[in-house]
Amino acid sequence: LVLAPSREVVFQHANLARGLLGIAPKNKHVLEVTTAITGDEEQLETVALEIMEAKVIVATPRELALVFEHEPPLYGNLPERISALIVDEVDQLIPSRKYKGDKVTRWQDLGRYPAEAIIKLIARRGDLHQVLAG
């Protein structure tokens, strides 16, 4: 799982992952989760199914949290499948000031950023082998 602060950075990382893995551009083994694909409920269901099949997930935290909130089984199953977590531009994803936005999910602690909620979920439920932050 790669968490990135913006759609542009998500697409850059996804393209890099495809290049490193030798995967074709539209292959669903590398999946981007951004505002571009989490528009309505039907799209959220499709994204949830694609996430379970993907080998590499590159996402903005808010949109990944929306998918988790919409598909509770994903919330329970995905963290166990994640063996590595990469948090890019951690200073943008988890700034030092307190989060003042709306909660994205019911399991997001008040005053915490969506990235913090996802990292906490994965750390508690998953079997992480590597965590990289930059």
Q: How far apart are CA 83 and CA 98, in angstroms?
A: 29
What percent of the chain is modeled with pLDDT above 70?
Answer: 93
Q: Are 15 and 98 in contact (CB under 8 A)?
A: no
Q: Are 67 and 38 in contact (CB under 8 A)?
A: yes
Residue 12 confidence (pLDDT): 93
Q: How far apart are CA 10 and CA 5, in angstroms?
A: 8
Q: Are 31 and 8 in contact (CB under 8 A)?
A: no
The mean pLDDT value for 47-66 works out to: 87
Q: What is the pTM of this model?
A: 0.86
Residue 126 confidence (pLDDT): 67
Q: How far apart are CA 117 and CA 101, in angstroms?
A: 13
Token pair belonging to 1? 């799982």
- Is the pLDDT at 11 greater than 80, yes or no? yes
What are 84-125's pLDDT values in tens digits?
Answer: 899 999 999 988 888 888 888 887 888 889 999 888 888 887
Q: How far apart are CA 60 and CA 10, in angstroms?
A: 7
- Is the pLDDT at 33 greater than 70, yes or no? yes
The mean pLDDT value for 41-57 works out to: 82
DSSP string, 35-58: TTT-SSHHHHHHHHHHHHH-SEEE
- Is the pLDDT at 38 greater than 70, yes or no? no
Q: Residue 39: CB partners within 8 Å, gap ≥ 6?
A: none
